[in-house]
Amino acid sequence: MDLHFGDSKPTDEEREAVDALLGPPESAWEGATERTDEDLRWARGGRPARERRDLLLPGLHAVNDRVGWISEGALDYLCRRLTVPPAEAYGVATFYSMFSVKPRPATVLHVCTDVACAAAGSAELCAGVEGRLGPGSGVSVERSPCLGLCERAPAALVVRAGSPAASLGGQPPDPRSSNAGGAERSAGGAERNAGGAERTYATAVVGPATPDSAVLAATAPEAADPEAPASLAVPQAGQPGLTLLRRVGVVDPSSLDDYRSHGGYAALRRAFALGPAGVIREVTDAGLVGRGGAAFPTGVKWQATASQPDHPHYLVCNADESEPGTFKDRVLMEGDPYSLIEAMTIAGYAVGAHKGFLYLRGEYPRALRLLDNAIEQARARGLLGDDVLGQGYAFDIEIRRGAGAYICGEETALFNSIEGYRGEPRSKPPFPVEKGLFGKPTAENNVETLVNVLPILTMGAQAYAAIGTEKSTGPKLFCVSGSVARPGIYELPFGATLGELLDLAGKPDNLRAVLLGGAAGGFVRADEMDIPLTFEGTRAAGTTLGSGVVLALDDTVPLPQVLLRIAEFFRDESCGQCVPCRVGTVRQEEALHRIAERTGEAAAGDIALLREVGRAMRDASICGLGQTAWNAVESAIDRLGAYE
């Protein structure tokens, strides 16, 4: 390890932000301003300091939250505290879109420009906002990929950096799970706004956004409208017969007592009665498969992790749903956060883990506050900690926040991100069940998959397996957005058809196409409404179910522009580690730019090039990002005749 520190010094605010996370430095080797006689006799740091490398991402969050951007002095100080080479930390800081290593205004307004929001007029929203917020406004307007607010398109997120004080909608994030803004500092180092008052951290979500509402939220987050409850994203809220969504809109998401009065923690008690092997057997017999798109059998993954002789074992909840069009996990976390805490506890018990990490995407400030509260309350009531429910089982959960990187939804990239490295996927084997987080056996599942464990244990594996079809069992959440009357999250049993789902959501008469599975999925035609919404059914139809994205597009939406936006998304989100994806996503976008306004023979050459590039990405990319980057474009050409 080669450490090269510069001469830049941290400001008082930057130092305080880092020290709030790591504690005060114990020696000059760690960045203390005073050097003692002991410091002159031996160096401190070494292995104990390097073992804290996983605090690099939380440390970057802490600085970015407090000051708004990560200066060279702040990065240098954080690296001294953690014994991390500054060049490596710079590589991590510049990997995430929500961080900035250049000065920027105190407030950042993220405007979603992805497919659902683009179809709803995000271009006009950006133009209107930028026309009102000039360079001297103290607001940085940044075009953002999907914010997970597709049912409220076009959407925007405001994040204002500042001191850790109470702010709009709840307490600011813990230093281990923070997010970002920008900063102006007075000569004395204190963070002040234009009126001289100390600036505090604040966030605001705006959707559906107008230029006026977005500007109001950006200039005064405290004056923005209160955040909409999660139940508004669930058109079926309160209806009988729901399984996964039955508590959303019914219980108070901040109240543990309310959750328990509606059946909460009954599943955990049954888990303790069954024992770890019994829990895994129930999950296996229920036929539960992953809901993130890969559809890997959950029971097989848990059994493989539990049987590993190497310890400790870890549980990781992947709550970094960054697939454009996906927002189901956000709704579950905002509307029923205790269900995820209970489900993670059960999963940890089953696989023999005593520590769980919840990796939450950085664009979900409300979910963060509610989950922080749920973990704190569960800990206080003996539902997390050294002796869960008096059963002699120790389990606790730590939230780690992402900072804007789609690739971190891939499990091994997520592990690298938690460990303090760039979020780049690892080659397999070894698989995570053998060597995952920190090189130890790890079970990784997304939010929807974990929450399905609760009804499996309360109703029994056989009753759960009776829902859906033989190969796709249980209920499924679908994220419906775009050109429909009632966008939102819908819960249906596997096997319902695409037409039945869109009828619930209010299908338009001029429907042109439906994008299934998000940007990594594929298009189907308006006359293919009989496709069964199962993993096997969509495969047989030549498309994919993915994570449950159903994006409807009517004939007013320009399809070539949609395809171009998808290509831009993959170009931006490629981690650049492997050549097929790094180069292929750029070539794909270039070709789509060239043929955006051409059809027929004029486009034939570039379409042939697209096919060649797409095959190379699919066959040779390290992870699913490159392997699926061509899917939507291919389906639009072959299925919809996009350039005929």
Residues 18 and 74 in one domain: yes
Evaluate whether residue 644 is within a structural domain. no
Residues 549 and 563 in one domain: no
Residues 63 and 149 in one domain: no
Evaluate whether residue 98 is within a structural domain. no
Spatial distance between the Cα atoms of 156 and 77, rounded to a whole number of angstroms: 33
Condensed to tens digits (0 to 9), the pLDDT of residues 430-450 reads 999 999 999 999 999 999 999
pLDDT value of residue 182: 29
| CATH number of the domain residue 527 falls in | 3.10.20.600
Find the radius of gyration of the CA atoms of the chain.
Answer: 24
Evaluate whether residue 248 is within a structural domain. no
Asked if 561 contacts 118 with a C-beta cutoff of 8 angstroms, the reply is yes
Condensed to tens digits (0 to 9), the pLDDT of residues 229-251 reads 888 899 999 899 999 999 999 99
Tell me the torsion sign for CA atoms 230, 233, 238, 240: negative
328-335 and 365-380 helices, crossing angle to 10°: 40
What are the tokens at 153?
A: 């398109």
Out of 93, 118, 135, a domain closes at 93
Condensed to tens digits (0 to 9), the pLDDT of residues 416-428 reads 999 999 999 999 9
Residues 178 and 261 in one domain: no
**452 class by beta-carbon count within 10 Å (0-12 exposed, 13-18 middle, 19+ buried):** buried
pLDDT value of residue 381: 97
Residues 360 and 297 in one domain: yes
Helix (H, G, I), strand (E, B) or coil at 590: helix
Distances, alpha carbon 153 to alpha carbons 206, 362, 628, in Å: 9, 19, 25
- Domain boundaries, position 114: 107-228
More confident residue, 105 or 70: 70
Condensed to tens digits (0 to 9), the pLDDT of residues 112-157 reads 999 999 999 999 999 999 999 888 888 999 999 999 999 999 999 9
What are the residues whose beta carbons fall under 8 Å from the beta carbon of 499, sequence distance 6 or more?
507, 529, 530
CA neighbor of 81 nearest in space, from 58, 100, 97: 58
Spatial distance between the Cα atoms of 256 and 381, rounded to a whole number of angstroms: 9
Evaluate whether residue 239 is within a structural domain. no
pLDDT value of residue 191: 45
Residues 549 and 572 in one domain: no
Evaluate whether residue 7 is within a structural domain. no
% of residues, the chain, pLDDT over 90 = 81
pLDDT band at 188 (very low <50, low <70, confident <90, very high): very low
The dihedral formed by the CA atoms of 238, 329, 379 and 279, expressed in degrees to the nearest 10: 90
Evaluate whether residue 2 is within a structural domain. no
In this predicted structure, the answer to whether residue 168 has a pLDDT above a threshold of 80 is: no
Neighbours of 46 (CB within 10 A): 10
Residues 454 and 328 in one domain: yes
In this predicted structure, the answer to whether residue 223 has a pLDDT above a threshold of 90 is: no
In this predicted structure, the answer to whether residue 346 has a pLDDT above a threshold of 80 is: yes
Tell me the torsion sign for CA atoms 46, 51, 52, 56: positive
Domain tally for the chain?
5
pLDDT band at 414 (very low <50, low <70, confident <90, very high): very high
| CATH number of the domain residue 193 falls in | 3.40.30
Average confidence (pLDDT) over 570-577: 94
DSSP character string of 355-393: EEEEEE-TT-HHHHHHHHHHHHHHHHTTSSBSSGGGSS-
Beta bridge partners of 112: 144
Strands (E), 182-247: 202-206
Asked if 172 contacts 203 with a C-beta cutoff of 8 angstroms, the reply is no
Range with lowest mean pLDDT among 42-46, 264-268, 300-304, 603-607: 42-46
DSSP character string of 166-195: -BTTBPPPPTTS-------B-TTS-BB-TT
Distances, alpha carbon 105 to alpha carbons 67, 87, 183, in Å: 10, 25, 6
Out of 465, 500, 522, a domain closes at 465
| CATH number of the domain residue 348 falls in | 3.40.50.11540
Asked if 419 contacts 378 with a C-beta cutoff of 8 angstroms, the reply is no
Residues 23 and 56 in one domain: yes
More confident residue, 89 or 40: 89
Neighbours of 130 (CB within 10 A): 16
631-639 and 601-620 helices, crossing angle to 10°: 140
The dihedral formed by the CA atoms of 538, 542, 544 and 545, expressed in degrees to the nearest 10: -20
Spatial distance between the Cα atoms of 636 and 627, rounded to a whole number of angstroms: 17
Residues 450 and 324 in one domain: yes
Distances, alpha carbon 21 to alpha carbons 72, 95, 178, 286, in Å: 19, 21, 11, 42
| CATH number of the domain residue 600 falls in | 1.20.1440.230
Please calculate the CA angle 241-246-251 and round it to the nearest 5 degrees. 145
Spatial distance between the Cα atoms of 263 and 455, rounded to a whole number of angstroms: 10
Evaluate whether residue 197 is within a structural domain. yes
Spatial distance between the Cα atoms of 529 and 386, rounded to a whole number of angstroms: 51
CA neighbor of 379 nearest in space, from 341, 332, 336: 341
Spatial distance between the Cα atoms of 546 and 528, rounded to a whole number of angstroms: 17
Evaluate whether residue 625 is within a structural domain. yes
Tell me the torsion sign for CA atoms 630, 636, 642, 643: positive
Neighbours of 558 (CB within 10 A): 13
pLDDT value of residue 644: 79
Spatial distance between the Cα atoms of 398 and 95, rounded to a whole number of angstroms: 22
Condensed to tens digits (0 to 9), the pLDDT of residues 470-524 reads 999 999 999 999 999 999 999 999 999 999 999 999 999 999 999 999 999 999 9
In this predicted structure, the answer to whether residue 186 has a pLDDT above a threshold of 50 is: no
Residues 158 and 46 in one domain: no
Spatial distance between the Cα atoms of 11 and 23, rounded to a whole number of angstroms: 17
In this predicted structure, the answer to whether residue 13 has a pLDDT above a threshold of 90 is: yes
CA neighbor of 247 nearest in space, from 397, 481, 455, 396: 455
Please calculate the CA angle 367-182-211 and round it to the nearest 5 degrees. 70
Out of 213, 228, 243, a domain closes at 228
Residues 68 and 24 in one domain: yes
Residues 529 and 571 in one domain: no
pLDDT band at 222 (very low <50, low <70, confident <90, very high): confident
Spatial distance between the Cα atoms of 329 and 320, rounded to a whole number of angstroms: 9
Neighbours of 128 (CB within 10 A): 17
The number of CA neighbours under 13 Å toward the Cβ of 469 is 13
Question: What is the rounded average pLDDT for all residues in the chain?
Answer: 90
Condensed to tens digits (0 to 9), the pLDDT of residues 599-624 reads 777 788 999 999 999 999 999 999 99
3-class SS shares of the chain: helix, strand, coil, % to 5: 45, 15, 40
